Amino acid sequence: MTRALVVWPTPAPRLLVYTSAVVAGVAVLAWHAGAHHATPMARDGPPLTTLGVAVMWWTLMVIAMMFPLVADDAVRVCEAGLRSRRLPSLVAFLAGYLAVWVVIGALGISAASVLWPHGAPTAAVLAILLAAAAWQLTPVRRQTLTRCGGRPFVAVTGWRALGDCARHGLVSGRRCVITCGVAMLTMVLIHSLIVMVVVSAVLYTERRVGPNPDRRHNGVESFALVLLAGLVGWWSLRNVGPLP
């Protein structure tokens, strides 16, 4: 008597990416509510107690904000290999991608804690937001965006396949740091759900316009970041506590 082989269906990579982002977003929201609108480096809020806790918060925020931006890349990496290995391929890709952002976050949080032990001033947050608005329009950023979305090469089986997926994750992470790193540095200085949502919307919207990078740089995203800087400055002048 032979036993039938049961093959469990592999969840869609895109669904897993978005599910991870939603779960991380809920965790960030709960953390934010539990901390009574505390900020890791903001002027009017208590800092997160240790570097490890701050990096953990940063990691959750990156998953919530940045994973949706690389959902297409994750799908392409998974489709480049065997269907039966899509889940390990996805995990390897996302691990490589996230590793880049964790390093950037740890460096940024460490630098901010040294420069502003009692919290970053509003002027620093405004400077980063305005720098991000200007960076949106630079040729270097535009050239980097044109390299996003390429078809990856992945080995079929073995550790080499996982290594290729992780390597593509590292490459995608590096490109995202170039295109989005300045805007994301804002989140090192201020723990605000409003800032998080606006920055996420800006970064996501430009990627939904289409494959032509020239169409992505119409100034709308830069203007949105300038308006966000104005909101942060206005809220600080009111002196009513950290921005929600």
Looking at per-residue pLDDT, the higher value among 68 and 36 belongs to: 68
**Residue at 7 is within a domain:** no
Amino acid residing at 6: V
Residue with tokens 């308006």: 227
Contact 120, 189 (CB under 8 A): yes
For residue 63, name the pLDDT band (cuts at 50, 70, 90): very high
- The pLDDT value recorded for residue 49 is 57
Could you tell me which of 7, 109, 92 has the C-alpha nearest to residue 58? 109
User: Partners of 42 in the beta sheet?
Assistant: 120
- The pLDDT value recorded for residue 45 is 38
Contact 125, 231 (CB under 8 A): no
pLDDT at 3 over 60: no
Lowest mean pLDDT among 8-22, 166-180, 205-219: 205-219
Looking at per-residue pLDDT, the higher value among 69 and 164 belongs to: 69
**Residue at 214 is within a domain:** yes
Looking at per-residue pLDDT, the higher value among 184 and 149 belongs to: 184
- Domain of residue 194 covers 13-238
Lowest mean pLDDT among 64-78, 110-124, 153-167: 153-167
Lowest mean pLDDT among 95-109, 156-170, 217-231: 156-170
User: Does the CA dihedral 155-157-163-166 come out positive or negative?
Assistant: positive
pLDDT at 38 over 50: no
Could you tell me which of 161, 172, 182 has the C-alpha nearest to residue 96? 172
Contact 58, 102 (CB under 8 A): yes
**Residue at 8 is within a domain:** no
Looking at per-residue pLDDT, the higher value among 106 and 7 belongs to: 106
The SS3 assignment for 150 reads coil
pLDDT at 30 over 60: yes
Centre a 10 Å sphere on the Cβ of residue 227 and count the other Cβ atoms it contains: 13
The stretch 2-11 carries a mean pLDDT of 47
> Domain count of the chain?
1
